[in-house]
Amino acid sequence: MFSGIPIDLPAMLAAREERAARQDIWLKQYACPILSFTLNIPGSVKTSPDLRRAFDTGLAALEDALESAGLSAIARDEIHAPTGDEALLAIRGHAAAIKEIATKLEEDHPLGRLFDMDVLNADGTKLSRRVPRRCLLCAEQAQNCARSRRHTVAELTAEIKRLLIAYLGSNGAAL
């Protein structure tokens, strides 16, 4: 399940910088809110066939939710690299409504805890959640657990594997 290519911190930081640069270009080009979708995956392996399926599931759920709300992407790009799967969508609409849709998916979808859907307003400001995310393993705020390293990577990846098995079932590759 986590059998992909291990990535080091400099590669992850470079991928983050490239994503931010793409977002800036899109903000200028499309002058509308931008949604950036990645997965929250701890450890050095950021993608694998099963994680890609989780990503594809999340992206499909996002597009369905946007369509149900009368919104659609005017531009869409996907990147599948060892540093992780990424999607960027430019969406005409109110950024707050888009963030609400994204937050609902992050909270309610069976794999939602793995989804990281950031929404930028047309001026580039990032919208925050109304309620902080809770930790994957406990009731604490996720940022606090991450900062204090309360849980090991092994504990976190075991929970991610459990979520993927529960959702993907016997159709999961390498399960």
- Domains (range + CATH), the chain: 9-131 (3.30.70.260)
Nearest to 57 by CA among 174, 163, 175: 163
As a whole number of angstroms, the distance between CA 117 and CA 134 comes to 15
- Per-residue pLDDT of the chain (175 residues), as tens digits, is 778 899 999 999 999 999 999 999 999 999 999 999 999 999 999 999 999 999 999 999 999 999 999 998 999 999 999 999 999 999 999 999 999 999 999 999 999 999 999 999 999 999 998 888 889 898 889 888 888 989 999 999 999 999 999 998 855 444 3
The reported pLDDT for the residue numbered 175 is 37
Rounded CA separation 169/23 (Å): 35
Q: Decide: 3 and 45 in contact? Cβ < 8 Å.
A: yes
39 phi/psi in degrees, rounded to 5: -110, 145
Say what the pTM is: 0.91
Q: What is the total residue count of the chain?
A: 175
For 43: left if phi > 0, alpha if psi spans -120 to 50, otherwise beta; the answer is: left
